Structure 1
Amino acid sequence: MTTRLIPLALIALIAAPMPQGAAMAAPALAQAEKPEPPNGERPAHRPADAAPEIRGLSGPYLAARMAAIQNDYPVAARYYLQALAHDDSDPFLQDSALVALISAGEMERATALSGTMSGQGRATELARLVQRAELARAGRWDALIEAIDTAPSPQGDAGTPGGGMLIDGMMRAWALLGAGKAGESLTAFKKMAELRGAAPMVNYHLALAKARVGDFEGAELLLADPVTGAHILGVIARAQVLSQLERNRDAIAMIEATPGFAEEPYLVALRDRMARGETLPFDSARGPADGMAQLFLTFGSVLATSDEPDPLALIHARLAEYLAPDLGEARLLAAQLLQGFGQFDLAEREFEALRELGDMRPVAELSRIDALARAERLEDAEKAALSLTAAHPELAQGWIALGDMLRQQDKFAPAVPAYDKALELLDDKSPEARWFPLYARGIALERSGQFPRAEADFRAALKIRPDSPQVLNYLGYSLVDRNEKLDEALELIQRAVELRPDDGYILDSLAWAYFRLGRYQEAVAPMERAVAAMASDSLVNDHMGDIYWMVGREREAEIQWHRALSLKPETEADAQRIRTKLERGLDAVLDEERAAGGRRPESRAPEPARAD
């Protein structure tokens, strides 16, 4: 399940008092957006215009808060705007609406609202930032310089929407270049580079500005420093600069030395153009507005580099898109952040925009496939993976993604050739990269009745990661289920439990292994722990009932089977089997199954949904 992240700007909103005049209204609250369902299923995306009208001020306000907590930005924006229709003078409501509008990508309405806030004399730091972006987009550089110079003193905190002194100073330097004051602009950038820790970021922008005014030697000197230009935009800019300096051979060598360059079609295309003798134009920053867009992208990327990215990263990514709609890196950042916030449909819009730009980069397509899968659009994800493998048949990750999408739809046999191709492409010298496709192919092989090959894959995966609880568990359970190598199988599962003692799936496997070995008393404790960890899992409760039955606790067994039925077993056959146990007891069911050739229980190995 994807963790829902609450924007920092909205955490205060949850605990804050209601806007002035917003009285509690229970009937209005009842119509608000429902919270996330307890089973983790994500409601289908509903555009802002589909949000129901709620009368008064308190109803829309409370509904907006609920939508904001769920990161449902279009709905939050709609309700905040409804609330503002009743009170357009509350700066808290205005700023909250502005956050939601920008996050939803509704920049026209965001710029209009920021203008209203400024006209009322209530411009917040975020509203001022939006206005600056609007001035840059319009090329009103003198007005932008004045807006920065006359603004209230920044807080100096790079985590605030305005970014503090650094982002203000860098915006001003780009604006000076736009106003035709190149010398002042370069001096301003150099001054900002003196700030502690800012040199790598500022020098990249200084290099762009130098190249923009024709100082390619100065730009190359800066971009050659790995801490300044060792990212994809820096590599592209440096290649263009070197080409302008008639150093295509050096540029080609630099590109080919870039890790993973073969998986970046744009870099490959640049190399091929220079190999044909073409001089690349410098268009990494076509003007100051592009430079400012990359500035917002830079801050957004910094804020996004953590396990739980700062939601303000999305605001910066949106502002970068606004200034440079064809800046693929900004759209990719926005898409990945939206995925992280659980907004898969909004993320898909960004991926579609990338495709329309002709920017079908593998990294973007892999993220898109992941977003479609998380949105439970598996058929669309499979089609996207097929397109990726057709466009880039040399890309192992594309074949892994295709195998994952097929496997998640229980198309186990067709998934095997996809993993075959991935493993064929992966170099034996990089065993760690082979671990996941070996494990995933093993699952597909086992589920499609090809256990000897599956066992070989699981053992190969264990050679790479001997302490992988997933593989230990899956192989151990499969051997127990086949009544093969039982001592080793039990040891494998016990080792998995040692590595992950609170994993309900693995505890269930251990208990079920004991069950299959006839060691029923030993199965009770791990199965009870599995039920405690996975109380809402039908199969775990069903297994618990079977174990209780075999140790003579028949009344408790019936209680567990009733609970398993109430939790909706995966198939009707599973449900009917439980009903039969309740009617006639487990012994009768097992006798009939043995007479009919036996019944294979479901594996309890926690399968990976996709490559990590």
Structure 2
Amino acid sequence: MATVENDFLAAARFFVQAVAHDPEDRFLQDSALVALVSAGEIDRAADLAKRIGSDGEPTELSRLIDRAERVHEGDWAGLLAEVGTPTDAESQADLLAGMLRGWGLLGAGKAKDALAEFERLARLDGVAPMVNYHLALARALVGDYEGAESLLADETTGAHILGFAARAQILVQLERRDEATAMIEAIPGVEAEPQLLALRDRIASGQPVPFDVVKTPADGIAQVFLTFASALASSPDPEPLSLIHARLAAWLSPETAEARLMVAQILQERQQFDLAEPEFDALRRMGQMRPAAELVRIDTLSRADRIEEAGKAALSLTAAYPDLPQAWIALGDLLRQQEKFAQAVPAYDKALALLEDAPADARWFPLYARGIALERSQQFDRAEADFLAAIEIRPNQASLLNYLGYSWIDRNENLDHALGLIQKAVELSPDDGYILDSLAWAYYRLGRFDEAVAPMEAAILTMSQDPLVNDHLGDIYWKVGRQREAEIQWQRVLSLKPTETDDVDPDRIRAKLDRGLDAVLAEESAAGTADTPAPVPQAANN
């Protein structure tokens, strides 16, 4: 069960105990290895893998871990003896072994043989880009920068973060700094990769820039594991072995930020936040915080209701990259999610100031989000301006049209225009329960009760568990003379046990059941109490 729930620490504990009781069971042994490596307890996994090998035929996983342990210990002769000299057919079936052999030969001081091994592997079907990347790193490590650069210049080989960094560093060694700077600036989306931008700035300013994407053959093998981890993680049905390969990469080369990042992201995807956090902390200490990855992390933490951790991550990101508008948007979204609307406004202010010269399409969502925060913090004039500006950019964004339209309806302003916006939102998103609810409630607030019935009944089909929508349907039924059905809806509201976040007052529901809606509205009017609070339109994500 621990394995099913990705609780790797617990799984490791239980499987190790099971292996102690039944040390010959290969399934238990492999299960223990998977859990130990996934939990980051690789030294213990290496000890168990040795015992498995010494007790008989090793398993495929124990052999993989044993090979990694030999690299960790610098036992290049042992690694080469273990992987042997595979034929082309064997290498096609087990590319990993061939690549380990290539780096192992380099570790053993046999540079010529190592390069020849990578060249042999590159001739196999379908693997040239992957192998040539490692061949380029190996060439650079032995000082053949010209050969390395020619390989990395091929987009199929070097068009990824580590490939770009390696090629830029190699160009510097070839005294081609201007070319390195231009190459980085031409990378699509480079503005979101501060590490590459920092490398560009060091190159442009004439600072020393060594080749250090790999410093040792062990770093090269870590990149082999990272390559396989990436391939396994990106498959349509991600392999559990992706985390194992990423863990081994980070174990062999703790300073390789990409390996630590992949471990953290896989753990995060599997909801193992406590195990992922030390990896993210390590990246921050290394100065390798990746904004794009941090934004995904913040969103994932938020969706998992780990709001405090998400907030800390957002604050750390804004501190590390104060000129990154997406960081301020993420912080604003978190504050808005916690209904800290007034506090969210300055975060969106900062983001929009940074986006002042950005393309219009980059501004619509922060305008919309700030509009929501302003509207909910009773600053409607500013909110209205933001909504109108956002609609000018995205005139067919259904949730945006719905929000402004409903806000006007709720304030009894621009009623015809408001209804038109909501009707257009329904046309754009006819199955959205929130927007159908808005349309029905708009008709209700305009006194067009008969027209409100159909959209509210459609809304309830998609939101049957929403107390507020059931309450609205009850009110509409009452107004069209269907009192018994109205009472059924209100009783259903109480059965759903609404909380404060549902914008439903259970006492008011009971009053309607006891005295009827008309009596409750009359009492509220006499007391100066506003009509039923308008539902908050659902905001879309960026």
Relative distance call for 1:434 and 1:261 in structure 2 (3 A) is: same
Deviations 1:350-395 (A, max 9, x none): 2122123232332343234334323423234333323322332211
1:445 — aligned with what?
A: 374
Instruction: State yes or no: 1:603 paired with 2:535.
Output: yes
Instruction: State yes or no: 1:117 paired with 2:52.
Output: yes
Q: 1:141 aligns with which of 61, 76, 87?
A: 76
Quote the Cα distance in structure 2 between the aligned partners of 1:446 and 1:266. Answer: 38
Quote the Cα distance in structure 2 between the aligned partners of 1:214 and 1:564. Answer: 74
Relative distance call for 1:273 and 1:343 in structure 2 (3 A) is: same
Listed as ranges, the matches of 1:160-559 within 5 Å are 164-305=93-234, 309-426=238-355, 428=357, 430-559=359-488
Listed as ranges, the matches of 1:122-133 within 5 Å are 122-133=57-68
Quote the Cα distance in structure 1 between the aligned partners of 2:87 and 2:123. Answer: 23
Relative distance call for 1:234 and 1:512 in structure 2 (3 A) is: same
SS in 2 for 1:68: coil
Question: What's the CA shift for 1:441?
Answer: 1.5
SS in 2 for 1:258: coil
Q: Which amino acid aligns with 1:511?
A: A
> Aligned residue pairs: how many?
539
Relative distance call for 1:602 and 1:105 in structure 2 (3 A) is: farther
Q: Which amino acid aligns with 1:136?
A: V
Listed as ranges, the matches of 1:154-165 within 5 Å are 164-165=93-94
Question: What's the CA shift for 1:397?
Answer: 0.9
User: Does the aligned pair in 2 maintain the 1:335–1:351 contact within 8 Å?
Assistant: yes
Q: Which amino acid aligns with 1:118?
A: G
Relative distance call for 1:547 and 1:256 in structure 2 (3 A) is: same
Q: Which amino acid aligns with 2:530?
A: G
User: Does the aligned pair in 2 maintain the 1:344–1:371 contact within 8 Å?
Assistant: no
Question: What's the CA shift for 1:207?
Answer: 0.8
Q: 1:593 aligns with which of 515, 520, 524?
A: 524
Question: What's the CA shift for 1:147?
Answer: 1.9
Question: What's the CA shift for 1:117?
Answer: 3.0
Quote the Cα distance in structure 1 between the aligned partners of 2:430 and 2:34. Answer: 42
Question: What's the CA shift for 1:457?
Answer: 2.6
Of 409-418 and 548-557, the range deviating more from structure 2: 548-557
Question: What's the CA shift for 1:196?
Answer: 3.0
Identify unmatched segments of 5+ residues in structure 2. Answer: none
User: Does the aligned pair in 1 maintain the 2:468–2:535 contact within 8 Å?
Assistant: no
2:32 — aligned with what?
A: 97
SS in 1 for 2:209: coil
The answer to which structure has the higher helix fraction is 2
Relative distance call for 1:573 and 1:522 in structure 2 (3 A) is: closer
Quote the Cα distance in structure 2 between the aligned partners of 1:240 and 1:154. Answer: 35
SS in 2 for 1:67: coil
Quote the Cα distance in structure 2 between the aligned partners of 1:575 and 1:472. Answer: 30
Question: What's the CA shift for 1:290?
Answer: 0.6
Deviations 1:294-320 (A, max 9, x none): 122222223333676444322222121
Quote the Cα distance in structure 1 between the aligned partners of 2:451 and 2:56. Answer: 73
Relative distance call for 1:199 and 1:525 in structure 2 (3 A) is: same
Relative distance call for 1:255 and 1:135 in structure 2 (3 A) is: same
User: Does the aligned pair in 1 maintain the 2:396–2:428 contact within 8 Å?
Assistant: yes
User: Does the aligned pair in 2 maintain the 1:505–1:604 contact within 8 Å?
Assistant: no
Question: What's the CA shift for 1:321?
Answer: 1.1
Of 413-422 and 568-577, the range deviating more from structure 2: 568-577
Q: Which amino acid aligns with 1:292?
A: I
Quote the Cα distance in structure 2 between the aligned partners of 1:550 and 1:294. Answer: 69
Question: What's the CA shift for 1:234?
Answer: 1.4
Identify unmatched segments of 5+ residues in structure 1. Answer: 1-65, 158-163
Question: What's the CA shift for 1:429?
Answer: 5.1
State TM-score, norm by structure 1.
0.81
Listed as ranges, the matches of 1:19-168 within 5 Å are 66-149=1-84, 164-168=93-97
Of 259-268 and 237-246, the range deviating more from structure 2: 259-268
Question: What's the CA shift for 1:322?
Answer: 1.5
Of 431-440 and 269-278, the range deviating more from structure 2: 269-278
Percent identity over the alignment is: 63
Q: Which amino acid aligns with 1:178?
A: G
State TM-score, norm by structure 2.
0.90
Question: What's the CA shift for 1:327?
Answer: 1.4
Quote the Cα distance in structure 1 between the aligned partners of 2:97 and 2:427. Answer: 53
Alpha carbon RMSD of aligned pairs, Å?
2.8
User: Does the aligned pair in 2 maintain the 1:345–1:375 contact within 8 Å?
Assistant: no
Quote the Cα distance in structure 2 between the aligned partners of 1:537 and 1:311. Answer: 37
Q: Which amino acid aligns with 1:239?
A: A
Larger relative contact order, structure 1 or 2 (CA cutoff 8 Å, min sep 6): 1
Quote the Cα distance in structure 1 between the aligned partners of 2:15 and 2:478. Answer: 57
Question: What's the CA shift for 1:285?
Answer: 0.6
SS in 2 for 1:536: coil
Quote the Cα distance in structure 1 between the aligned partners of 2:18 and 2:259. Answer: 31
Question: What's the CA shift for 1:155?
Answer: 8.8
Relative distance call for 1:454 and 1:296 in structure 2 (3 A) is: same
SS in 1 for 2:79: helix
User: Does the aligned pair in 2 maintain the 1:351–1:368 contact within 8 Å?
Assistant: no
Q: 1:574 aligns with which of 505, 528, 541?
A: 505
Question: What's the CA shift for 1:448?
Answer: 1.6
Deviations 1:114-164 (A, max 9, x none): 33333343533222222221111111122222222389999989xxxxxx5
Question: What's the CA shift for 1:562?
Answer: 2.8
Relative distance call for 1:337 and 1:469 in structure 2 (3 A) is: farther
Quote the Cα distance in structure 2 between the aligned partners of 1:575 and 1:113. Answer: 60
Quote the Cα distance in structure 1 between the aligned partners of 2:424 and 2:82. Answer: 64
